[in-house]
Amino acid sequence: MKLKAYEKIRVDKYISDEFEEIPREKIKNFIKDNKIKVNNKNIKPSYKLEEEDEIDIDDELFEVVEIKPEPMDINVIYENDDYAIIDKNTNVIVHPAGNIVSGTLVNGLLYKYGYEGLSHIGGDDRPGIVHRLDKDTTGLMVIAKNNESYKYLKDLFERRQVYKEYLAIVFGNFDKKSGRIETFMDRDKNNRRKMAVSKSGRIAISEYEVLKEVDGYSLVKIHLITGRTHQIRVHMTYLNHPLLGDPVYGNVKHNFNLDHQLLHCRKLAFTDKDGKEVSYNAKAHDSFLKYQNILGLGE
């Protein structure tokens, strides 16, 4: 596999940032074994990339261990022969990454549907997975049950033909009660594990509407038009309204015993392959409703 560098940074860190699921120590070992080269030359992990350097990576780096089926309580909202709509719980990683090969949604899907009952062209470690939710984000996901369905659904997401609606509890009150956020997003230059609004990168578009507010907190509906990593969390922080409980973005001090963002995907809608418009809904989970009620933000 080949990559082209776009900034000055250590080569091992650059690759680690691009492929978060691969442990950095594994990347260093590959470099030391000359399985990663720059401009067709052997280098050290500390080598500082120059813009436009070409990185050649042995495909062996991306090999994944066997992912085993594991029983899991999966809330299926709807399913047919082509896809399933599930309501994901909090504290569930969608697919294996790095050393995490157990306890993910994929493990549960393999147990429920079997390998042959899921699409498998999106990656050996991601059978059935068309799109993702963060570990602690709850709500609706669509799972592809065959390759044809995967291709169709993936195309819908890429063409922004899937309506995705979220609920979030955020800090502060809005001067403008509804609006559209359109920015570029890229990795945070100060913390490569985070994303940030930037002058370049990929376009990110969200629309929001305040549903209810109390002093210092707001319940917000967010229509996610694009689907960048951590997009809602980044956009709300960009507006100075970070999500309550978010341990990464904003991370505002509060008096609640809460260690995860309050974010829930409550609606997915799209046109299925037969031309029928379908829409699915899921109520916010108890972990969300608890703080919604404490704050007096019930709809």
Strands (E), 129-176: 138-144, 163-171
Angle in degrees, CA 191, 197, 202, rounded to 5: 105
DSSP 171: E
The catalytic residue among 134, 186, 246, 259 is 134
Backbone φ, ψ for residue 35 (5° rounding):
-95, -5
Residue 223 identity (one-letter amino acid):
H
User: In the annotation, is 134 catalytic?
Assistant: yes
Q: Per-residue DSSP letters for 266-298?
A: EEEEEE-TTS-EEEEE-PPPHHHHHHHHHTT--
Q: SS in 3 state form for 10-42?
A: EHHHHHHHHCCCCCHHHHHHHHHCCCEEECCEE
Q: How far apart are CA 254 and CA 257, in angstroms?
A: 8
- Listed in sequence order, the residues at least 6 apart from 103 whose beta carbon sits closer than 8 Å to its beta carbon are 70, 92, 93
Q: CA 75, CA 71: separation in Å to the nearest integer?
A: 13
In sequence order, what E strands does 124-162 have? 138-144
Gap between the Cα atoms of 36 and 27, Å rounded: 8
Rounded-to-integer distance, Cα 244 and Cα 171, Å: 6
N-to-C CA span, the chain = 50
Q: Which residues of 240-272 are buried (b: 16+ CB within 10 A; e: fewer)?
A: ebbbbbbebbbeeeeeeebebbbbbbbbbebee
Q: Which residues are catalytic?
A: 134
